Each structure stands twice: as C-alpha cells, then as structure tokens.
Amino acid sequence: MPESFAAAGLDSGSFGCDAPVLLADHRQLAEAAGAAIITGARVHSAQRLGSGWQVGAGQEGFEAAVMVNAAGAWADEVAVISGVEKLGLQPYRRTAAIAGVEHSLPEHSPMVAAADKSFYFRREGDGVLISPSEAVPSGPEDAQPRPGDVERLVAKLNQVTTLGISGVRSAWTGLRTEAADGIPVAGFDAEAPGFYWLAGQGGYGFQTSAAMAELAAAQILAGQGTGHGTGHGTGQGTAEGPGHGTEPSAGGGAGPESRTAEALAATRWSIRR
C-alpha cells in the first residue's frame, strides 16, 4: 500500500537459493566421494578411544579419527554426551508459511523484507512465502508454529500490501542456532582432540554451506585434530593431554567441568581461528 512505506532499497546483487536442490547436490557429492548417510540414528554416546572417537548412534557403533559435531540446535547436547564442554549455543525460533494470494507477484519480483525485521515475503509459485522474522530463544526441540503467529502475520501483510493473502497452505517453525557473538563455529575444540565443531550458522546455514563445508574439510584433512587449535589458554589438546574426560589432570583438575571463563574464551577463540 502506498501509504504504508516511506522508502525502499533494492539489492540487485543477491539471488535466491533452491534449498532442496542444494541439499540433493551436497548429498550426491558426498556419496560420490564414498560417504554413507545414515538417518534415524541418534548419537547417544561418544567417547575418546585411543587416538580416535567411538560413537554410539541408534543400534550401531562407529569409530573414527575425527568426530564432527554438526548437530544444529543440539550441538551443545552432543558435546555434553561426548564429555566436551558446551559452547553456550542458543537456538532461536523462526516461523515461515506458504499462502495463496489474490494478486500473484510477477515472476522475478524480489524478496521484500521490512527494515524493522517484522516480516518478509517472497513469491513462491502462484502464492507467497511469508515469515514474521521472529527470533525467539528456544531450547533444542522439534519447534512448531505457535497458535495465532501466522494468522497475525497474514492480517498485518494484508494491511500493508495489496497481495490479498487468502489461505495458508503450510506453516512450519525451525531453529536458527547462534553462538553468543553470532559468528559461525567451525574448528577443532582446543581441549578435546579430534572433536570438530561445525555449528551456529544462525540464519545463513544454507547459503554458507558450500563454503563452510570446504573450510571444514580443509581443516579436518590438514589437522586431524591432534594438537590442533591449542597453544591458547590451557595449552591442552594433544591426544594424550589432560583436560579431557573426567579424571582430574596433574595441572590442577582442568577437566571440562572446571574450565574458567578465560579458558572458555580461549577455546572459543581457537575454535574460530
């Protein structure tokens, strides 16, 4: 509606990303390189064994030199069951819906996002994809839309646009998980040899996935985890070093539970290095 907006800016340098195609492409590349993708097998235990990791998932057990923790909103939980200090990752709810419209948007119309982050919408076939852009803190869970959230968004969009949103076809809520500084986490844990973090991509995990995967693969292949990401704070991190597991170390009991804020900050720094 003309009276609803004072100004607008157009970013003509961005483009849309087809998430299902991207996922299928990544899957194909991984499988072609010999990866086996096993779904429906929750990691319920993980421990450092010799120079590698022993992981229990579903009914099976796996052994590997490097364990990659890419569990999204559950990454801190997976760290804890692995005996690794969690990072304090915070999941935030974000809801989206697909709805029909009276007036379809032209084929190449841009995504529209309010400057105050109160909504965004874009063309989706003959309808629209809409979101209230919320970022509500949540625990790691199977998030669902809250009653009224989508209805309120539809009413608001029908006030400020001429779309004429008529019916919601589907709605879902997901979690966007962030570290305290909002910067994605990619790197070996400084205190848990062979434990690689790949988490905290927030609202950008799809568009950054190819680059993040390349970075992670390069770091893992170069480092394999032993003695990596250390040299800061506690100076731990060799395969035999202290600070892992539950027994106190000779240096004064610096197990995962007893890390100081400074040691955690150093770990965090080296993880992102």
Ligand X SMILES: Cc1cc2nc3c(=O)[nH]c(=O)nc-3n(C[C@H](O)[C@H](O)[C@H](O)COP(=O)(O)OP(=O)(O)OC[C@H]3O[C@@H](n4cnc5c(N)ncnc54)[C@H](O)[C@@H]3O)c2cc1C
Phi, psi dihedral angles at 129 (to 5 degrees): -100, 130
Contact with ligand X (CB under 6 A) among 176, 228, 232, 244: 176
Q: Cα(135)–Cα(117) distance, rounded to whole angstroms? A: 10
Interior/surface letters 105-127, b for 16+ CB within 10 angstroms, e for the rest = beeeeeebebeeeebbbebbeeb
User: Does residue 42 touch ligand X according to CB under 6 A?
Assistant: yes
User: Does residue 110 touch ligand X according to CB under 6 A?
Assistant: no
Total residues in contact with ligand X, by rule CB under 6 A: 21
User: Does residue 78 touch ligand X according to CB under 6 A?
Assistant: yes
User: Does residue 174 touch ligand X according to CB under 6 A?
Assistant: yes
Beta bridge partners of 128: 99, 123
Taking the complex as a whole, the smallest distance from the CB of residue 90 to ligand X amounts, in Å, to 13
Listing DSSP states for 163-179 in one string gives: --EEEEEEEEEEEEEE-
Taking the complex as a whole, the smallest distance from the CB of residue 247 to ligand X amounts, in Å, to 25
Tell me which residue has tokens 């509500």.
136
Other beta carbons within 10 angstroms of residue 36's beta carbon come to: 6
What residues contact residue 177 under an 8 Å CB cut-off, 6+ apart? Answer: 72, 73, 75, 89, 90, 91, 92, 199, 200, 201, 202
Number of H helices, E strands in the chain: 5, 12
Q: Which residue is nearest to ligand X (CB)?
A: 205
User: Does residue 117 touch ligand X according to CB under 6 A?
Assistant: no
Q: Cα(91)–Cα(98) distance, rounded to whole angstroms? A: 23
CA distances from residue 71 to 10, 78, 197 in whole angstroms, order as listed: 35, 7, 9
Nearer to ligand X (CB atom), residue 56 or residue 235: 56
Nearer to ligand X (CB atom), residue 89 or residue 254: 89
Segment contacting ligand X by CB under 6 A, of 59-67, 69-77, 118-126, 240-248: 69-77
Contact with ligand X (CB under 6 A) among 79, 87, 96, 97: 96
User: Does residue 67 touch ligand X according to CB under 6 A?
Assistant: no
Contact with ligand X (CB under 6 A) among 56, 100, 110, 203: 203
Segment contacting ligand X by CB under 6 A, of 30-38, 117-125, 202-210, 251-259: 202-210
Segment contacting ligand X by CB under 6 A, of 102-110, 119-127, 195-203, 231-239: 195-203
User: Which residues are near ligand X by CB under 6 A?
Assistant: 42-43, 70-74, 78, 94, 96, 131, 174, 176, 199, 201-207
